[in-house]
Amino acid sequence: MWQWIAIYAALGAAGTWLARVYALHSRLIDEPGERRSHSVATPRGGGIAIVAAVLIAAAALGIRFPSHAPLALAFAIGLLAIAGIGWVDDHRPLSPWLRLGVHAFAAAVLAFAVWHVLGNVWLALAAFALAVGLTNVWNFMDGINGMAASQAALVALALVWLGGPVWSWLALALLAACVGFLPFNFPRARIFMGDVGSGAIGYAVAALCVLAASGLGLRSGLLLLPLAAFMVDSGLTLLRRVRRGERWWTPHTQHAYQVWARRIGHTRVTLAYAVFTLLSLVCVRYVTEVRTGFILCMGAAWYMSGAFFWWLIQKTGRETGDPIS
């Protein structure tokens, strides 16, 4: 196991370093602006290293476990599609509807494979919805140093426990690759993940959740707990923007983590979100054998607590005169 971790952490670190060299050479730079949360021009596209590491891991698992090769192949096709459209978008902005179309294609490939291999139409529908949803959630939430990679690593840790004898190895590769990327992005960002990484990581998390759910049955609700921080912040912020009649698909800095980061800085916010997710991992670790009803009640309470913190952060932002929140 430790050799596997070391390999993919090294791939994540080396790939990120190479991506930074390429970004600087190609002038692939994120400039500060009113719709961004950083104040220093920073290269982007480092997430391609995580994508490459996870693709290698998926290929290795497909070879090692031939019966799982069709699912591994579908996963890889979807990951490549989302990373590819993100890579293009990092170089020249594309229509959000074109990106969404590619996300839907990748989700459909995953859903078809789940239906064809596992024979579960409901799980296939969940795969499609979760893949489209988390691809965009991770893209929305990749706005401050370390946030997207640290949350992906923590969710992957939960999936190592819950993913079963095969897919837990893919979750471990994702965890290790994110750990390899993080020193370049946190606490000081020498490179950003970019759309190539954020969307693809969201897709990978969604696919791993669905594959873990295939073996968890009624306990699948546990998988929603580690996702709470991102699901609550992105979901409530999106709903508020829709209610206000805003162009919800355009870039903005209205998420709770962005409002909070303007007050206390990137590092503290990223760590606070990490603590919230770590607490959910403790719950996941110790309640795997309890009844389904208790899991659902605990999940509802956890999401309600997240919604309360979202409201509190947004309210505090308004009271302190935040011009955007």
Please say whether the beta carbons of 30 and 68 come within 8 A.
Answer: no
Instruction: Give dist(CA 53, CA 113) in Å, integer.
Output: 22
Instruction: Say whether 44 sits in a helix, a strand or coil.
Output: strand
In the structure encoding, which two tokens stand for residue 42, read together?
Answer: 């920073």
Please say whether the beta carbons of 150 and 187 come within 8 A.
Answer: no
- Paired sense of beta strands 29-30 and 42-43, if any: antiparallel
From 170, 143, 147, 151, select the one nearest 159 (Cα to Cα): 170
Tell whether residue 139 is among the known ligand binding residues. Answer: yes
Which class for 193: exposed (0-12), middle (13-18), buried (19 or more C-beta within 10 A)? buried
Distance of CA 154 to the CA centre of its chain: 10
CA distances to 35, 137, 239, 298 from 244, rounded to whole Å, are: 18, 20, 9, 31
Q: Residue 30: beta bridge partners? A: 42
Instruction: Give dist(CA 65, CA 166) in Å, integer.
Output: 8
Q: How many CB atoms lie within 10 A of CB 172?
A: 20
State in Å, rounded, how far the first CA of the chain is from the last one: 45
Backbone angles phi, psi at 253, to 5 degrees: -130, 45
Tell whether residue 185 is among the known ligand binding residues. Answer: no
In the structure encoding, which two tokens stand for residue 272, read together?
Answer: 């606070």
In 28-128, the DSSP E strands lie at 29-30, 42-43
What is the enclosing helix (H) or strand (E) of 100? helix 96-118
**Annotated binding residues for Mg(2+):** 139, 195
Q: Which residues sit in the known binding site?
A: 139, 195
